[in-house]
Chain A
Amino acid sequence: MEKTQNNKAWFLVLPVLALVAFSAVIPLMTVVNYSVNDTFGNNEFFWAGIEWFDEMIHSDRLHEALGRQILFSVIILAIEVPLGIFIALNMPKQGFWASFCLVLMALPLLIPFNVVGTIWQIFGRVDIGLLGHTLAALGIDYNYVRDSIDAWFTVVIMDVWHWTSLVALLCYAGLQSIAQAYYQAAKIDQASRWKVFRYIELPKMKGVLLIAILLRFMDSFMIYTEPFVVTGGGPGNSTTFLSIDLAKMATGQFDLGPAAAFSLMYFLVILLISWVFYTVMTNMDRADAQGGK
């Protein structure tokens, strides 16, 4: 049968194209514009080429912020993923307490970011905060404003408090999908608790767990509000992560050119890591599927 070729349907994509242009492409292009120009206001621009990129790539300030950022993401993933799995494994599977736990776990996720920051900012204060004051009363020298280790400790604990629930809830959903027969078969086969986890629960959780890790990685890599409210990036620069540094540069110092170059590279790094992650994930699935055939 002859099919008539009619590509006019492509025009139906136009509204979306316009929408995306306004929501993403045009703002992004202004950033691109800033990154290759120098400006002193008054809408006057001087062509700078890749000078800002060159400067930023060799900037110690950016290297340090990137280092802190990677360290932060690694630490919170190393805590939140195992902790989330552990919580999911120990949550009640049904009945009143299951719903109760679900609501309880969801609560931190519903709190706005700057409120979370404010909560911990006050919670950790040595003079009036419950945590800070208690620690001080116990004779522990804790002050997140003065000591960079304490500041890190506070920011990490805050993120764990805020986001472990997400990992736990996703894992819980994965666990709920396991049929009872699997556990029964494992009992019959006399599998140990560890083997039940390793060969039944973990494989069934793998999909959601990878999504949880990806989400947590991206979110933590772009974290801004909470540490900004709690420590403001300090003491010194010790909790100045990429976003905080970027905001300082752009809106604090009005170095729009370097900031634009910075943000484009930042964006590309996240895109790159997410792409690698996604590729690894899909390849793993494919390898699994081929394993059986």
Chain B
Amino acid sequence: MARITLENLAHSYLPAPKGEQDYALKELNHVWQDGGAYALLGASGCGKTTLLNIISGLVHPSQGRVLFNDRDVTRADTAQRNIAQVFQFPVVYDTMTVRDNLAFPLRNRGMDAAYIARRVDQIARMIGMEAMLSRKAQGLTADAKQKISLGRGMVREDVNAILFDEPLTVIDPHMKWELRTQLKQLHRNFGHTMIYVTHDQTEALTFADKVVVMHDGRVVQMGTPQELFETPAHTFVGYFIGSPGMNLFPAAVQGRTARLGDTVLDLGADYGTPQGQVQIGIRPEYTQVSDEGLPVTVTRVEDVGRHRILRGALMGHPVNAILHEGESLPPEPRLSFAPGRINVYADDWRQSAKGAA
């Protein structure tokens, strides 16, 4: 088990990258604490898998260093790093039985037979495949195969970290939930450092203590699910986390007020005079639909069960608002924002209020 430190790390798949746009992973400094459960969240192609493969040693970074505790492993190969990784699509050794598949990493490390047998039984119980141990892996269903892959990832107890690269893509929804719970359980029992890559926010938020959001080859925010929700550091986080995402409007911010068209809004804190392209962001959850505030044009109302989502336009900008149970839609609806819940962005990055963190 180890603390993983990334120093000035960047990676380009091109032999001679010319500018920042050639980098799949832009320069970043980051520490993964020993025993943490992290989720790496982002849209497809944002560099998540690259980052993961750099940590596991399958890809060597163009620049920067990777440290396990205080040992520099930047140039070390995968075997020396002692990492387990589970891939997006099931990788099983077809000609082996399920038992041999699970035992494979242990046998390769020369563990003794009695220990292997005990450990394999334990893992098989965990992934619910005790009954299939003697079957050949070939011809199993995709989710059974993926469970074997997961089991093989978890079978070694002394690994520095376990990396998951969207491991539940091929698993059906019910099993997904169950396996995620088991992974969480495993994390509690053994305290491995776990990094879980996904583009599904529900998966990320339920699995991890800390969620790392990546966008366009960059880590844009790392925080608890609560932080990601309340104070997204980047407009991408606001948009990506939450359903629907955060509403953003271009505005002129001056001190404690923001001017949106002709309307002046109270921000609840002093933001000075931010430069660049200034936007304010508000979560649909913190909007209030009533007959006071800014006029809104409603295009449709979606009923999602627990609440209704109002979709419309506010001064020509798309807006979403939540209508809670029991709230009715006035004939001429207007929106008001909870003052302390407005975030201010300059060039997509969140500005902190004066006197606050």
Residues of A within 8 A of B (CB): 179, 181-182, 184-185, 187-192, 195, 199-200, 203, 288-293
Contact = CB atoms under 8 A, between A and B. Distances in A.
Contact of A199 (B78, B84, B95): B95
B108 A288 contact: no
Interface in B143-166: 149, 152-153
A183 to B, nearest CB: 9
Contacts, number: 69
A289 B138 contact: yes
Nearest to B82: A190
B156 to A, nearest CB: 9
B136 A291 contact: yes
Return the 4 tightest CB-CB contacts between A and B, nearest first: A292-B139, A291-B136, A185-B91, A189-B105
A200 B105 CA distance: 14
A190 B105 contact: yes
A236 to B, nearest CB: 47
B2 to A, nearest CB: 16
Contacts of B137: 292
A191 B94 CA distance: 15
Q: Give chain B's interface secondary structure class.
A: loop
Contacts of A190: 78-79, 105, 108-109
Contacts of B58: 184, 187-188
A291 B138 contact: yes
Given A184-B58, A184-B87, 4 more contacts: A185-B149, A187-B78, A291-B139, A292-B139
Interface string B67-80: 00000000001110
Contacts of A200: 93
A288 B139 CA distance: 8
Interface residues of B, number: 31
Contacts of B91: 179, 181-182, 184-185
B314 interface: no
Given A181-B87, A200-B93, A191 B108 contact: yes
B216 to A, nearest CB: 24
Contacts of B149: 185
A292 to B, nearest CB: 2
B108 A292 contact: no
A291 B152 contact: no
Nearest to B53: A184
A167 to B, nearest CB: 21
Contacts of B138: 288-289, 291-292
Contact of B139 (A189, A203, A293): A293
B83 interface: yes
12 contacts: A184-B91, A187-B58, A187-B77, A187-B78, A187-B79, A188-B105, A190-B108, A191-B104, A199-B104, A288-B138, A291-B138, A292-B136
A190 B153 CA distance: 12
Interface in B41-78: 53, 56-58, 77-78
B85 interface: yes
A195 B139 contact: no
B94 A189 contact: no
A205 to B, nearest CB: 12
Nearest to A195: B108
A195 B149 CA distance: 17
Contact of A192 (B53, B83, B85, B108): B108
Contacts of B85: 184-185, 188
A191 B88 CA distance: 20
Given A184-B85, A291-B135, A189 B152 contact: yes
B108 A188 contact: no
Nearest to A292: B139
Contacts of A185: 85, 87, 91, 149, 152
Contacts of A192: 108
B31 interface: no
Contacts of B89: 179, 181
B187 to A, nearest CB: 19
A130 to B, nearest CB: 42
A191 B149 CA distance: 15
- The interface centre, meaning the residue of B84, B89, B108, B109 with most chain A CB atoms within 10 A of its CB, is B108
Contacts of B117: none
A179 B149 CA distance: 15
- The interface centre, meaning the residue of A191, A195, A291 with most chain B CB atoms within 10 A of its CB, is A291
B139 A289 contact: yes
A185 B56 CA distance: 11
Interface string B103-116: 01100110000000
